[in-house]
Amino acid sequence: MNLERIPNEEKLSLSRRYYLGGFAFLPFLWLVNVLWFFREAFLKPTYTEQPQIKSYVKKSALGLIVWVAVLTTWITIFQHFRAQWGEVGDYLSFTIPLGTA
Amino acid sequence: MVVVVATIKSVSFYTQKDGQQLIYTPFREDTETVGQRALNSMLNAFIMIGVILVMTLVLVVLYKYRCYKVIQAWLFFSNLLLLFFFSLIYLGEVFKTYNVAMDYFTLAVIIWNFGVVGMICIHWKGPLRLQQAYLIMISALMALVFIKYLPEWTAWLILAAISVYDLLAVLCPKGPLRILVETAQERNETIFPALIYSCNVNIPHGVSLSPVVAMAPTAQPEDDGGFTPAWVNQQQHQLGPMQSSEDSRREIQELPSARPPPVEDDEERGVKLGLGDFIFYSMLVGKASATASGDWNTTIACFVAILIGLCLTLLLLAIFKKALPALPISITFGLVFYFATDNLVRPFMDQLAVHQFYI
């Protein structure tokens, strides 16, 4: 769907829904929100709904950064300490790399 | 297609023959004699085509009687299955191949995000590029599943048979796909977005539309001059104990906007290609890369053949302005090139290399 063709109120409602949806553990949705509406929010001449779209995009970006930070920390910890954790590590793992002889 | 080839090359899971076959191809191919094998594979192919035909008819009937909810629910669940379950398996295999550890938590987040955003993009509203990307990914996943679970000769026979079926279903007046598309045209509706891949081309409003209108003497007041019937291709897929209904459909549809008033320019333009097309093209190329003795030569030859076929099809589409089956031309070229390259070109090149004779 093309953003050019839908009226401003719909854009606002779409952005809002993407923002609210992202709270269901969906940082990817926030990312899509940011990328898709970036132009709309910041690079276009002002229109009535723009400040609200801007705020949604900013909040989505914020949420996204938080998620990325959390995930990165967790992944680093996991990869580093997995072997040392023994059983718990195996239990948490989906795939376990094979050792080299 | 690139995705499928890359996966086949790197992840051996998809080329292992662990003896499991889809329930729709009950005949084994590891039989004693060549004749037996040929017979079995033909029977397999018939069964598959029969299944596809039945599913197509069911879809057409549902569409005719306006059971839209049923169709939508069906599509919804099959996409759900594809996006979550198959991508889970796929990711698992990729990680195993690259020997990377992955924990359940991160995996859950990834799959959940991928799946939900995919459902949103395809069935609701989302950026066009993302929707296209998702459609491509699920087509690739389907193609990979087919490559793994269909035995050799059956796969090639199915490809050939499907092209013929496609030709018949789209061009014959009684073909189910033609009925589908004409019904859609009568009702002035677009076919479900979950089944088509649309390459939207933005044409500025100032473009003159009169030549297009002239070509469509029977054009209805609002709709397009050229219109293409759909080729419905549905497959049911069963993996072990799982009961899953997967269907994908293809159609080529070109909607040149034939309306003089610029208000109506909101119609989508551009070519629409059905998803089944993607699946079978990818399957052909994937099979070529998996099983060819000529390795890259054959793969690239098939790739090129399919692209050429597609260009020809689009050309014909522009000429005829009718619905056209996308499969026959490309698949025919692809098959011809595959067998020719495999059996003729490869030994030739080998001999040249052995004798250090450069052309």
Residue A87 distance to chain B (closest CA, Å): 13
* Bridge partners for B252 per DSSP: none
pLDDT at A91 (0 to 100): 62
Kindly determine whether residue A28 and residue B113, on different chains, have CB atoms separated by under 8 Å.
yes
Residue B241 lies in a domain: no
Residue B220 lies in a domain: no
Which two structure tokens, joined as six digits, stand for B292? 């060819």
**Residue of chain A whose Cα is closest to the Cα of B93:** A95
Q: Which of residues 259-288 of B touch A (CB under 8 A)?
A: 266
- How far is it, in rounded angstroms, from Cα B82 to Cα B80? 5
Q: How far apart are the first and last CA of chain A?
A: 53
**Residue of chain A whose Cα is closest to the Cα of B123:** A1
Residue B280 distance to chain A (closest CA, Å): 26
Quick check: is B223 catalytic?
A: no
pLDDT at A66 (0 to 100): 93
Any idea what DSSP says for residue B341? I
The number of beta carbons lying within 10 Å of the beta carbon of residue B123 is 17
Locus of tokens 């000769």? B153
| Tally of CA atoms within 13 A in the half-sphere of B52 that contains its CB | 26
Q: Is the pLDDT of residue A1 over 70?
A: no
Kindly determine whether residue A93 and residue B112, on different chains, have CB atoms separated by under 8 Å.
no
pLDDT at B192 (0 to 100): 63
pLDDT at B199 (0 to 100): 60
* pLDDT mean over A72-94: 74
Nearest to B48 by CA among B333, B287, B325, B280: B280
Nearest 5°: CA angle at B281, between B291 and B227? 165
Length of chain B: 359
Q: Is the pLDDT of residue B170 over 90?
A: no
pLDDT in tens, B38-77: 777 788 788 888 888 888 888 878 777 777 777 778 888 8
Domains of chain A, residue spans = 3-92
The per-residue pLDDT of chain A, averaged, comes to: 81
Q: Given pLDDT bands bounded at 50, 70 and 90, which one contains residue B293?
A: low
Kindly determine whether residue A24 and residue B102, on different chains, have CB atoms separated by under 8 Å.
no
Residue B236 lies in a domain: no
Phi, psi of B29 (to 5 degrees): -110, -10
- How far is it, in rounded angstroms, from Cα A73 to Cα B243? 39
The beta strands (E) that lie in chain B are given as: 102-103, 196-200, 230-231, 250-251, 253-254, 270-274
Residues of A in contact with B102 (CB under 8 A): 93-95
Residue B237 lies in a domain: no
- How far is it, in rounded angstroms, from Cα A95 to Cα B100? 7
Quick check: is B350 catalytic?
A: no
pLDDT in tens, A41-80: 877 777 777 888 888 888 999 999 999 999 999 888 887 7
Residue B190 lies in a domain: yes
pLDDT at B295 (0 to 100): 61
- How far is it, in rounded angstroms, from Cα B300 to Cα A77? 43
Residues of B in contact with A21 (CB under 8 A): 120
pLDDT in tens, B89-125: 877 777 776 677 778 888 888 888 888 888 888 888 7
CB proximity B120 to A under 8 Å: yes
The per-residue pLDDT of chain B, averaged, comes to: 66
Helix, strand, coil percentages, rounded to 5, for chain A? 75, 5, 25
Q: For chain B, what is the total number of helices (H) and then of strands (E)?
A: 13, 6
- How far is it, in rounded angstroms, from Cα B242 to Cα B8? 24
B328 lies in which domain range?
Answer: 1-203+264-355
Nearest 5°: CA angle at B194, between B66 and B180? 40
Q: Is the pLDDT of residue B267 over 70?
A: no
pLDDT: is B227 or A49 the higher one?
A49
* pLDDT mean over A17-30: 88
Residue B291 lies in a domain: yes
Report the domain count for chain B. 1
Residue B238 lies in a domain: no
Instruction: Report the share of chain B in percent with pLDDT over 90.
Output: 0
Most confident of the ranges B24-33, B54-63, B338-347: B54-63
Q: Is the pLDDT of residue A4 over 90?
A: no
Contact B7, B14 (CB under 8 A): yes
Given A1, A5, A74, which is nearest B106 (Cβ)?
A74
pLDDT at B89 (0 to 100): 80
Nearest 5°: CA angle at B233, between B230 and B238? 160
Which two structure tokens, joined as six digits, stand for B203? 């044409």
pLDDT at A65 (0 to 100): 93
Could you report the predicted ipTM of this complex, rounded to two decimals? 0.84
pLDDT: is B234 or A32 the higher one?
A32
Nearest to A78 by CA among B100, B61, B357: B100
* pLDDT mean over B210-239: 30
Q: Letter for the amino acid at B229?
A: P
Reduced to 3 states (helix: H, G, I; strand: E, B; else coil), residue B147 is helix
